[in-house]
Amino acid sequence: MGKPRHRQQLVLTLLFGLWFPCCLTQTTPPSRTNLGPTPSSSPQTERLKVRLAGYPRKHNEGRIELFYKGEWGTICDDDFSTANANVLCRQMGFVSATGWTHSAKYGKGQGKIWLDNVLCNGGEKSIEFCKSRGWGNSDCTHDEDAGVVCKDERIPGFVDSNVIDVSDRNVEEVRLRPVVVTAKKKLPITEGVVEVKHKDGWAQICDLGWTIKNTRVVCGMLGFPHERKVNKNFYKLYLERQKNFFLIHSVGCTGTEVHLAACPMEFSKPNATWPCTGGMPAVVNCMPGPLFTQNSSLKKKIKCLKQLKGGARMGEGRVEVLKDSEWGTVCDDRWNLQSASVVCRELGFGSAKEALTGARMGQGMGPIHMNEVKCLGNEKSVWSCPFKNITAEDCKHVEDAAVRCNTPYMGLENSIRIVGGRSSYEGRVEVQVGSKWGTVCSTGWTTKEAMVVCRQLGLGYSMHAITETWYWDSSNVTEMVMSGVKCTGNEMALSQCQHHKTVNCQRAAAKFAAGVICSETASDLVLNASLVQQTVYIEDRPLHMLYCAAEENCLSKSAAKANWPYGHRRLLRFSSEIHNIGRADFKPKAGRHSWVWHACHGHYHSMDIFTHYDLLNANGTKVAEGHKASFCLEDTDCQEGVSKRYECANFGDQGITVGCWDLYRHDIDCQWIDITDVKPGNYILQVVINPNNEVAESDFTNNAMKCNCKYDGHRIWLHNCHIGKKHKTQNYQL
């Protein structure tokens, strides 16, 4: 059956995952031909690429490889030093090195040994400026390949695949100074005088020759996808009377740059101002993306963006694109800032801050739709860029591309705080309402609300929604100022959620103020849809084999009226394979003390409701409910290189490790839907994992799986099994 061709869409799943990155390619700073009379210009060099290779490694450690004269090669460990490692780490965008390794600790490289007896002072901009025996001159073997361990902290402004060495230039940061001071400052600031930060302070840009392309670059840096025209006359009168300090002039961006520093421009002499005769300070006006606009007609567009999955940080995550109504990832070959920027702008953010390779934001599941994406940077959609289709062995999910986009400053973190907890990631929630800070009523406080708080604070995901906070430091509990909070989960701030107009809480502020425990990482469960499709069948199971199942409520209600032990139940059976593709292990919320022993099946149930199995008719009415299954969670198997941690047997720890899956085979008890009472027809089979969002996940939108189901009274067929939104279900009809 042909799949419907849907309009191709793009989504950024704000998911995290630290897997085994495959390669990290860096280049030296672009040559500086276009820069004006700035001090400290370094010699022009051919771009030297540096990467980390070998095994086992992380994104910040590995064997050093250099790309020189069209060939990758290694460095010999003779005379290697921390100073050398520092130069290499900085060259790859890390703040410094924490160590280095010798004797091919990450495995032996291949090809040339490019450098030997390298002696850096530590301050060099690139390894090629350090003393050595010269390119390709070495008496070493690959047994002596050197490696580095870099501090896992990025140089500010550093971008992953193209280097913009901001430290070397006079443009470090850009901001907008609004000229029109309205009574109430609205964020984000979208219009104003462009100010650039340099080492001695902030300065203006002379707007002679300024183009809308320059504006586009500035807007992109500030988190805005588009630029608008400015009414210059409006500013002219005002700005002419001001004393301006023009540091930069003659800016000539092409519009595809992700940082102003990458545009050609000229600088005034140190500590001198450029005359800018006949000009004025550059002023820009940016158009915010739908997420950041107050315009209600634009807000409607957010609906389609709501598929944007809530992430630890806004505007960052693995790139996923929709093709033939199926979500898939993008392979990181040739993934760069220009392509990443197209993705970012398409999603309503600014240009890209980083183009991440090697599944730095976790591995996706399912198809990989694009490879070797090569955008120029001005395309409206990533689908307009040249790319290659994937053939089977081209790419794996360890190469999933991700982005970190520039987002506008919203000041969201200023109207909320958490207090009393044991660490900066947990505490009682306090919000500012008017000028007053106070607590939030914990009635109805769930993971969804807690997720919004953690996101607003920039602390990632919520591990737990706390409804009793008395055991935290309660010496200074403030008054309750908010109650009845109900979020959809996608809001950027708690104030955007529904809440009571006047505080109405049955619970005491001191004991029952709402609290959160936030975490940078979370699990993410996804069902293997194709396995369900492949394994489905019908079984007429004799009642005498179903005593245990009846005891665990795995049969529909009419089973109670059956003539036990005679007769049978008709069961729709299939296998469920639940993968954890997140960045933290999935663990039941309840501690072991509250797990329930199920003698019949001989294991503990750690979650009351782990999955829902339902059969729905076309209008969403349930015609058969599998049951609210509670299971014993464990790692059935894991992908290569990951070891199992959880096991049900012997009261073992329960959970699903990142990179592992829990398989419920079609032939185990209760792994079915009782369809004894279902008439022949067309239906939807729906499986929802973690349906009450009881355990935190980085993405709840991929927790439902649906299949079209055809039942002729004897046999059953499933097709188009896919991960998708949970079907709106109506009342139970049996």
Ligand X SMILES: *[C@@H]1O[C@H](CO)[C@@H](O)[C@H](O)[C@H]1NC(C)=O
Question: For residue 456, what is the DSSP state?
Answer: H
CB 646 within 8 A of CB 655: yes
Q: Which is nearer to ligand X, 419 or 516 (CB)?
A: 419
CB 420 within 8 A of CB 474: yes
Q: How far is the CB of 627 from ligand X (least distance, A)?
A: 22
Per-residue mark of binding to ligand X, 13-42 (x: CB under 6 A): ------------------------------
Please name the residues in contact with 335: beta carbons below 8 A apart, sequence gap of 6 or more.
161, 355, 356, 357, 373, 401
Per-residue mark of binding to ligand X, 279-298 (x: CB under 6 A): ----------------x-xx
351: enclosing H helix or E strand: none
Determine which residue in the list 41, 530, 594, 682 makes contact with ligand X, applying CB under 6 A: 530
Determine which residue in the list 44, 233, 271, 506 makes contact with ligand X, applying CB under 6 A: 271
Per-residue mark of binding to ligand X, 637-676 (x: CB under 6 A): ----------------------------------------
Please name the residues in contact with 254: beta carbons below 8 A apart, sequence gap of 6 or more.
213, 263
Q: Which is nearer to ligand X, 261 or 527 (CB)?
A: 527
Name the segment binding ligand X (CB under 6 A); options: 172-180, 471-479, 644-652, 682-690: 471-479
Nearest to 653 by CA among 681, 633, 629, 630: 633
- Strands 147-150 and 61-68 come out as antiparallel
Q: Which is nearer to ligand X, 119 or 618 (CB)?
A: 618
Under rule CB under 6 A, residue 391 binds ligand X:
no
Q: Which is nearer to ligand X, 46 or 393 (CB)?
A: 393
Determine which residue in the list 33, 391, 423, 475 makes contact with ligand X, applying CB under 6 A: 475
Under rule CB under 6 A, residue 619 binds ligand X:
yes
Under rule CB under 6 A, residue 473 binds ligand X:
yes
* 502, burial (CB in 10 Å: exposed 0-12, middle 13-18, buried 19+): exposed
Q: Which is nearer to ligand X, 33 or 476 (CB)?
A: 476
Under rule CB under 6 A, residue 329 binds ligand X:
no
Distance CA 656, CA 646 (A): 7
Cα dihedral across residues 728, 289, 412, 311: positive or negative: positive
Q: How far is the CB of 530 from ligand X (least distance, A)?
A: 5
Determine which residue in the list 37, 270, 275, 567 makes contact with ligand X, applying CB under 6 A: 270
Q: How far is the CB of 534 from ligand X (least distance, A)?
A: 5
Q: How far is the CB of 40 from ligand X (least distance, A)?
A: 12
Q: How far is the CB of 153 from ligand X (least distance, A)?
A: 28
Distance CA 127, CA 89 (A): 10
Residue numbers 350-369 binding ligand X by CB under 6 A: 365
Distance CA 640, CA 366 (A): 17
Q: Which is nearer to ligand X, 110 or 530 (CB)?
A: 530
Residue numbers 691-730 binding ligand X by CB under 6 A: 730
Q: How far is the CB of 551 from ligand X (least distance, A)?
A: 31
Bond from prior residue into 56 cis (ω within 30 degrees of 0): yes
Name the segment binding ligand X (CB under 6 A); options: 398-406, 470-478, 597-605, 705-713: 470-478
Under rule CB under 6 A, residue 302 binds ligand X:
no
Residue numbers 191-220 binding ligand X by CB under 6 A: 200
Cα dihedral across residues 29, 35, 41, 45: positive or negative: positive
Nearest to 198 by CA among 126, 268, 254: 268
Nearest to 490 by CA among 720, 733, 355, 309: 309
DSSP result, 580-607: E-SSS-B--SS-GGG-EEETTTTEEE--
Under rule CB under 6 A, residue 423 binds ligand X:
no
Which pair of tokens denotes residue 381?
Answer: 């959609």
Distance CA 54, CA 638 (A): 22
Which pair of tokens denotes residue 92?
Answer: 């790859």
Q: How far is the CB of 201 from ligand X (least distance, A)?
A: 8
CA 104 to chain centre: 33
DSSP result, 506-551: SS-HHHHB-EEEEES--B-EEE-HHHHHHH-EEEEEEGGG-HHHHH
Under rule CB under 6 A, residue 323 binds ligand X:
no
Name the segment binding ligand X (CB under 6 A); options: 132-140, 374-382, 462-470, 530-538: 530-538
Q: How far is the CB of 433 from ligand X (least distance, A)?
A: 19
Under rule CB under 6 A, residue 506 binds ligand X:
no
User: Could you tell me how many residues of this chain bind ligand X (CB under 6 A)?
Assistant: 20
| Residues binding ligand X (CB under 6 A) | 200, 270-271, 295, 297-298, 365, 388-389, 473, 475-476, 528, 530-531, 534, 617, 619, 621, 730
